[in-house]
Amino acid sequence: MPLKIAIVGRPNVGKSTLFNRLAGKQLALVDDQPGVTRDRKEAPGRLADLPLVLIDTAGFEDVHDDSLESRMRQQTEIAIREAELALFLIDARDGVTPMDERFADLLRRADLPIVLAANKAEGNQGDIGIAEAWGLGLGEPVGLSGAHGEGMGDLYAAIRTALGEEKFEAAFSEVDAAEGEGFDDEILDRMAEIDVDDPNLSEEELTAALEAAGIDDAAEAEAQLAAREEARKRPIRLAIVGRPNAGKSTLINQLLGEQRVLTGPEAGITRDSIAVDWIYEGRKVKLVDTAGLRRKSRVQEKLERMSTGETVRSLKFADIIALVMDADEAFEKQDLQIADLAIREGRGLVFVISKWDLVENHAQKMRELSEMAKVLLPNARGAPVVTLSGLTGKRVDRFMPAVAKVYDDWSARVKTGDLNRWLRYTIERHPPPSVHGKRIKPRYMAQMKARPPTFVLMASRAEHMPEQYKRFLVNGIRDAFEMPGVPIRLFVRQSSNPYADKSQGRRKK
C-alpha cells in the first residue's frame, strides 16, 4: 500500500509547498502569511517511483486552550498518529527555533519513523540551519527546497533508511489501478431510418425498427444493470458547499462520528477543501468540505480569494453537490449562484437546510422552502430538500440516502426503446410549435452518456427548436424516468429525412 506520510512543522516552513510538489498539483493553499493551512488534508502523491498518501497539516502551535490554534494542533496530532512516517520540516533560513525543539520532543514520543528536513535550502542559503538541525537529535537532516524541487533524491534515500527495507518495499504493493471513466456512446447512424413521429408507425413496427437498428431491449437492460453496478463501485465524490458558517464542517463531523474538520463560531474557519475517504453502507464516499463561498465584493483578503477559487475547483470535480444553507437564510443570491454553477457543471444537487433545531414551525417552513426552490431554481426541479441539525445530529440519517439516490439517478442510463416510446407519446400530445408555418419533426432520441445523463434528439429543422420546448422535453425526461435533482443535457441535431427523396420521386410522377 502507498506510504502514508504526515508533513509536519511550525507555521510557514513550507509544508503545503512540499505537499503540492509531491502531489504533483496545486492542492493546498500556499501564501507567505503563517497559518494558511488549518485542517489536515490528504492526497495521493509520488516521490520518484515511491507511491505516497500525503497528509498536509496545520502549523504546530504550543497551545492547549479552546482556541482555534489549539484545535489546529489537535488535528496535527491526529495526523501524526495516523501516519507511517513523519516528515518534520524546519526553515533552513531561520535555523532551529524553540518551537521546533518542542515539536521534536512531541515527535520523539510518537513512536514512528521520522525524517528531518531543512526546507528553503536553495543554493547555500540554508547551510547554517542544516547544521543547527543536527542538534534536534533526530538524525541527519535533509536539505531541500519544496518550491524548486531540490533535494528530492536525498529525501527519497532518507525515507528508505528511516523505514527499513521491508516497510519501504511494502509501499510498492497493491497500488490501486485508476478506475475507468464513462460509458460507450450509442451509434446514432444505426437509427437513421427510424421516425417516431410517423403516425402510421405502429408500436410493433417501432419495436421492430429499434431491433433492426441494433437496439435490443434485453441487451440494453443487461447493460443498464451492469452500468448501475459499476456506478456503485465508484466512490461518490461529494462536495459540501455553502456560505460561511452554514454548518458544513459540523455536518461532516456528524457523518463521520469524529471531530475530523475544525468547527466553531468563527466564520470562515475552513480555508482549504478537505477531502476525507469514508464508507457509507458499503459504498465508498469521498467527502469534500469546502471554504464558505461569499459574494466577490466581500472577498477582499487575498487568502480568501484563493480559498474561493479552491472551492469552485472542488465543485467542478465533484459528482454530487450538497448545498448547505442556514434555515433562516436559505436560497439567498449566493446560494442560487452556487446551485446554478452546480447545474451548469452537470452535477447532481441536494439542498441541505441546517440548524433545523432552531426552527419553530417545521411544516410551514418546509412549505416555504419547497416553494422557493421551485420558483427560484426551476432548472433544479425535484432536487431533494433535506432538513437536519448538524449540531444535535437530528435527521442527519436522512442526508446520505438522498445523496445516494441522486448519485444513482445521475449515473443512470435509459433504454433507447423506452426513451423513444416516451418521445412518441409526448409529441403526440404536445408537438413542437411550427416555425414560419413549417413543422419541426422530432425523429428519434438516444442517450449518449451518463454522469450527467446526456441525450441527443434528431429532428428536422433542429436549429429552430425553441428553448422552451427543449426545457419541456428535459423536464419530461426527468419526471418520466425518475431523475429528481439531476441535471439533464439535451442536444438537438439536424436529421435528414430518409423518405424525402422517395416523396420527391412520387411527386415528379
**SS3 (DSSP) at 298:** helix
Q: Which residues pair with 50 in a beta bridge?
A: 47
Query: Is residue 192 a part of any domain in this protein?
Result: yes
Looking at the fold, whether 317 and 448 belong to one and the same domain comes out as no
Q: Which helix (H) or strand (E) holds 494?
A: strand 489-494
pLDDT 10s digits, 465-508 = 889 999 999 999 999 999 988 999 998 887 654 444 344 444 44
Which of 410, 442, 472 terminates a domain? The answer is 410
Contact 32, 12 (CB under 8 A): yes
- Binned at pLDDT 50, 70 and 90, residue 268 comes out as very low
Mean pLDDT confidence for 77-92: 88
Give the structural domain span for 130.
3-170
pLDDT 10s digits, 394-404 = 999 999 999 99
Name the pairing type of β-strands 142-143 and 114-119: parallel
Looking at the fold, whether 420 and 405 belong to one and the same domain comes out as no
Rounded to 10 deg, the angle between the 333-344 and 302-317 helix axes is 40
Distance CA 490, CA 481 (A): 15
Looking at the fold, whether 313 and 396 belong to one and the same domain comes out as yes
Looking at the fold, whether 146 and 17 belong to one and the same domain comes out as yes
**Is the pLDDT confidence value at 301 over 70?**
no
Query: Is residue 432 a part of any domain in this protein?
Result: yes
> For all residues of the chain together, what is the average pLDDT?
75
Query: Is residue 274 a part of any domain in this protein?
Result: yes
Mind giving me the DSSP string for 346-405?
T-EEEEEEE-GGG-S-HHHHHHHHHHHHHHH-GGGTT--EEE--TTT-TTGGGHHHHHHH
Looking at the fold, whether 393 and 436 belong to one and the same domain comes out as no
Instruction: Choose among 470, 446, 475, 474: nearest CA to 458.
Output: 446
Distance CA 138, CA 88 (A): 10
Which of 410, 440, 468 terminates a domain? The answer is 410
Query: Is residue 183 a part of any domain in this protein?
Result: no
Looking at the fold, whether 401 and 433 belong to one and the same domain comes out as no
Distance CA 501, CA 312 (A): 52
Looking at the fold, whether 503 and 427 belong to one and the same domain comes out as yes
Contact 305, 33 (CB under 8 A): no
Distance CA 215, CA 85 (A): 55
Looking at the fold, whether 322 and 343 belong to one and the same domain comes out as yes
pLDDT of residue 166: 79
- Binned at pLDDT 50, 70 and 90, residue 80 comes out as confident
Looking at the fold, whether 14 and 162 belong to one and the same domain comes out as yes
Domain count, the chain: 3
Looking at the fold, whether 395 and 418 belong to one and the same domain comes out as no
* CATH number of 396's domain: 3.40.50.300
Looking at the fold, whether 123 and 192 belong to one and the same domain comes out as no
- Report which of residues 417 and 320 the model is more confident about: 320
Query: Is residue 363 a part of any domain in this protein?
Result: yes
Query: Is residue 205 a part of any domain in this protein?
Result: yes
Cell 516497510 maps to which residue?
Answer: 167
Mean pLDDT confidence for 307-317: 56
Contact 213, 261 (CB under 8 A): no
For the record, the C-alpha cell of 487 comes out as 441535471
Handedness of CA 21, 25, 27, 32 (dihedral sign): positive
For the record, the C-alpha cell of 102 comes out as 518542542
Those residues whose C-beta lies under 8 Å from the C-beta of residue 371, and which sit 6 or more positions away, are: none
Query: Is residue 224 a part of any domain in this protein?
Result: no
Query: Is residue 442 a part of any domain in this protein?
Result: yes
* CATH number of 469's domain: 3.30.300.20
Looking at the fold, whether 147 and 193 belong to one and the same domain comes out as no
Share of the chain above pLDDT 70, in %: 69
Share of the chain above pLDDT 90, in %: 18
